[in-house]
Each structure stands twice: as C-alpha cells, then as structure tokens.
Amino acid sequence: MPAHGRDPILIAGGGPTGLALALKLGLADVPCVVLESESALTHDLRAGSFHPPTLEMLADLGLEEAMHARGLKVPVWQIRDRIEGVIAEFDLSMLSDVTQFPYRLHLEQHRLTPLLLGRIQDAAPSITVRFNAPVSKVEQDADGVTVQAGGESYRGSFLAGCDGAKSVVRQAVNISFDGFTWPERFLVASTTFDLATVGFAGAGYVADPEHWAAVFRVPDEGPPGLWRIAYGTDPDEPEADVLASNAIQKRLKIILQHAIPGAGDFTLKYASTYRVHQRVADQFHAGRIALAGDAAHINNPLGGFGLNGSIHDAVNLGEKLIEIWHNGADYRTLLDLYDRQRRPINIKAVQAMSIRNKRLLDEKDPTIRKASLNEVRATATTPDKARAYLLNSSMINSVRDAAAIR
C-alpha cells in the first residue's frame, strides 16, 4: 500500500472520458487505476465527430497522427431543408487563424478508445487498466476513497466517476441528475450510398417538422466511407417496427427525397435506436470524488457536443489532479474550480446549443420555422456572424470561456 495520502487515483469507467483522463495523468507520471466493468473496450456505435479544441487536446496527448490516419476531415457542414435543399453552409477553414485543426474530424468513438488504450500501454506505465471490474460500492473519508469493484477492494486518493450516464459513482454520492428525456427515440442507420455524389457535405442537418435528420460521413474500410443518418422515431411505435428494414428504407427515401428523387433501396449496414436526454449533475465533485463525461452531463447528439465536452472535462480535471498530486495544491480549491469551469459551461453552451439545434430542425410552427431558417441563412452569408456562429458551434468559445473562470 502506498504511503498515506499517496494512494493512486481511481477512475471508474474505461470509456473515452476515463481513458483520456488516465492518459493525461499517466503522461504526467501520476499513478492511476482504471476500473472498467466490461471485459474489453465497448464497441457500440455512438459519437463520431471531433471539434477543433478536442483535436488540439488529443494531439497534446500524442494522438494526432493516429487519429488523422483513420479519420475523415470535414471542414464544411450544411443546414438543409428537407424540401428546399441547402439553406446554409459553414466552412470551418474560416477559423484557421485560431486553431491548427480548422475542421471536424469524423472518427467513431469505438475507433478512438483503442488508440487511447494503446497510447496508455506504450507511454504511461503509471496507469493500470482493469477490465471485468464493475464499481459497485464507493465510500470516502478525510484521506481518500475506497471502492469495491469486481470482488476486490481498491483504495485511492481520489476517484473520478467516468462511468457513463447511469453512473454508480454519481449515485453513491447522491448527486442528482436533473433534466428531461425527449419523448422520441433516435434511430441511427448507416448506408454505403455515397451522399457526396448528390451534394451532401460530410456533415449535414436536415430540417423538417416531421422528418428531420442528421447526416454524417464516417470512415469505413475504404472510400467513400459510410453515411450515418440519425432521425427521431414515433414514441408510440414499437421498437421492432421502427427498426424494420422497410420502415428505415421508407424513412430514408423521405429524408433524402430532395437530393435523390425516386431513390431505390439503400444498402444498409447498421441500425439501432437510443433514448436521448438533457441532464446535468447538480455538482461535478463531492469531496475527493469528481464526475466527468456522461456521468456529469448528457445531451442530444445534434451538434456533436457529448463526447467532445466529455474529453474537455477529462483534460480539465486531469490538469487539476496533476497539480494536486505533484505540487500539493489544495484539492478542495482545485476541484471547486473544476466544477465552476465545467458545469456552468455545460449548461450555457452544450445544453443550450443542442436543444436549440433540435428546435431548429424539428420546429412545427411554420412562421417560427421560416424565421429560424432565414436567420441561419443570413448568418452563413455574413462573415462576422458566420465566424461568431462557428466559434460557438465548434466549442472553441466554451473552452475559452471555461479557462477564463478563476
């Protein structure tokens, strides 16, 4: 057992947040143990879009080359109307004076986590990753934290709850997770049909009161990649019906009707549904226990903020824990600062923007709908406004704003 007060940092959850935090700590020689409930990295289809500040942070962790070798650069994204076609195009190249990565990089999170784990194994010997270790019980005292996981007891100086939306850690410290759940489930399907050939940019949002959608190109075994299409489903329709192949084909033809009139069946590679929430933890730390990623906040995927904000948490929290570990900084002060920097920003930026994006796409009132789309059109064609919009939607402003909080 290490000396009093120098037990390793424990991390519950080996998803993107937990592994990014572990890598950040490991590169600074801070010992840490990651406890992951599954027997291997999870492989389900989730987030797949990295914004410029996240790319900067992951480049600092040594992942620039590996991510770029596998990902797709997407500088331009569109807002479309399902009937009219392109309403607005935004080009992130406009921000090349403020970021070295003026584009989104599309790379699914199940392709990021092996890169994080590989880098931990290669460059961060102070990190241990335990699989089959579901955290089941958490207790803290004045000197540290005791965690039960997979039949073993672990003692740590701090615990980071990076164990996802249903966080056991968050529940163990009784932090509430208020917000709401959208009534409709989201369905995400992927097709090999190359939507670039019919005018789609690598990322696009299609507005329609009923048949709105988000359309994204992601890497596949080879060009042209796969196209992921996410849309809302009728809350009253049974799961099996919305996932039926003919139902998905019918819906894709409606969504893509303007771009591909009279389309035949699409080759589908994948389809699944999921529930979508807007929730933020009441506090991001309690004593020696901090929350990060989906354990701390969840939002709808429109804008691609969930995973990006989670990595921003991991890096911010990692900086604080390094300062505490190496320089003996007061943990209460720094974890309070983590809370002040990350929690209000999530509410002000991520929650607000993702809800606004959904309203823009699915607005039913024709007058509001027309006004909103006109406003987006005017924003995209006015350089100052386009730049301001891009600074927010790329999350550059939220990272800057957080850093300015002391």
Ligand X SMILES: Cc1cc2nc3c(=O)[nH]c(=O)nc-3n(C[C@H](O)[C@H](O)[C@H](O)COP(=O)(O)OP(=O)(O)OC[C@H]3O[C@@H](n4cnc5c(N)ncnc54)[C@H](O)[C@@H]3O)c2cc1C
Residues forming beta bridges with residue 203, ordered by sequence position: 77, 216
Segment contacting ligand X (CB under 6 A): 40-48, 54-62, 203-211, 384-392?
40-48
* Least distance (Å) between residue 294 CB and ligand X: 4
* Least distance (Å) between residue 147 CB and ligand X: 9
Per rule CB under 6 A, is residue 318 in the interface with ligand X?
no
Other Cβ atoms within 10 Å of 98 Cβ, number = 15
Chain-centroid distance of CA 296 in Å reads 12
Between residue 260 and residue 299, which ones bind ligand X under the rule CB under 6 A?
274, 293-294
Other Cβ atoms within 10 Å of 400 Cβ, number = 13
Per rule CB under 6 A, is residue 104 in the interface with ligand X?
no
Per rule CB under 6 A, is residue 306 in the interface with ligand X?
yes
Alpha-carbon distances of 283 from 116, 280, 301, 342, 380, rounded to whole Å: 27, 8, 23, 10, 37
* Least distance (Å) between residue 261 CB and ligand X: 28
Where are the alpha helices (H) located in 238-365, listed in sequence order? 239-243, 245-255, 306-327, 331-345, 352-362
* Least distance (Å) between residue 159 CB and ligand X: 11
Instruction: Look at residue 120 and give its three-state secondary structure.
Output: helix
User: Distance between CA 28 and CA 6 in Å, rounded?
Assistant: 15
Phi/psi of residue 256, each to 5°? -100, 10
* Least distance (Å) between residue 177 CB and ligand X: 13
Per rule CB under 6 A, is residue 114 in the interface with ligand X?
no
* Least distance (Å) between residue 28 CB and ligand X: 20
Please select the residue that binds ligand X; options are 109, 157, 316, 393, rule is CB under 6 A.
Answer: 109
Between residue 342 and residue 381, which ones bind ligand X under the rule CB under 6 A?
none
Chain-centroid distance of CA 195 in Å reads 24
* Least distance (Å) between residue 148 CB and ligand X: 10
Burial of 24 (0-12, 13-18, 19+ CB in 10 A): buried
Strand-pair category, 177-181 with 72-74: unpaired
Per rule CB under 6 A, is residue 191 in the interface with ligand X?
no
* Least distance (Å) between residue 377 CB and ligand X: 25
User: Distance between CA 7 and CA 108 in Å, rounded?
Assistant: 34
Segment contacting ligand X (CB under 6 A): 163-171, 177-185, 191-199, 363-371?
163-171
Between residue 43 and residue 102, which ones bind ligand X under the rule CB under 6 A?
46-47
Per rule CB under 6 A, is residue 217 in the interface with ligand X?
no
Between residue 133 and residue 152, which ones bind ligand X under the rule CB under 6 A?
134-135
User: Distance between CA 230 and CA 235 in Å, rounded?
Assistant: 15
Please select the residue that binds ligand X; options are 14, 26, 202, 204, rule is CB under 6 A.
Answer: 14
Residues in touch with ligand X (CB under 6 A): 12-18, 35-38, 42, 46-47, 109, 134-135, 162-164, 168, 274, 293-294, 301, 304-307, 310
